[in-house]
């Protein structure tokens, strides 16, 4: 595949790659979190944009402390 060629994914493929349901994928698309394209009656996503979304969703270390505040107090 050349550098200019776009690799397209179906909604089912993209949902599977993300580990979410197709319904959740549609919500991500509708909320402008993930770009998608409609060709006639078919919705497609660019593989590179799905991969970029995955990378941008990475959790930064130390950003989840609010989810377990009691545990941090016990350690101190």
Average pLDDT estimate for 59-63: 90
Residue range of the domain that includes 16: 9-58
DSSP string for 13-73: HHHHHHTS-HHHHHHHHHTTSS--EEETTEEEEEHHHHHHHHHHTPPPTTS-GGG-HHHHH
Is a pLDDT exceeding 80 seen at residue 40? Answer: yes
65 in a domain, yes or no?
no
48 in a domain, yes or no?
yes
Is a pLDDT exceeding 70 seen at residue 1? Answer: no
Q: What is the pTM of this model?
A: 0.79
pLDDT of residue 42: 97
pLDDT of residue 13: 98
Is a pLDDT exceeding 70 seen at residue 73? Answer: no
Q: Give the chain's domain count.
A: 1
């Amino acid at each position: 595949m050349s550098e200019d060629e776009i690799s397209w994914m179906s909604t089912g493929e993209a949902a599977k790659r993300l580990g979410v349901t197709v319904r959740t994928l549609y919500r991500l698309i509708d909320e402008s979190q993930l770009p998608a394209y409609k060709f006639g009656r078919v919705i497609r996503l660019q593989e590179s944009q799905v991969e970029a979304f995955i990378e941008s969703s990475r959790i930064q270390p130390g950003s989840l402390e609010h989810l377990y505040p009691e545990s941090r107090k016990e350690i101190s």
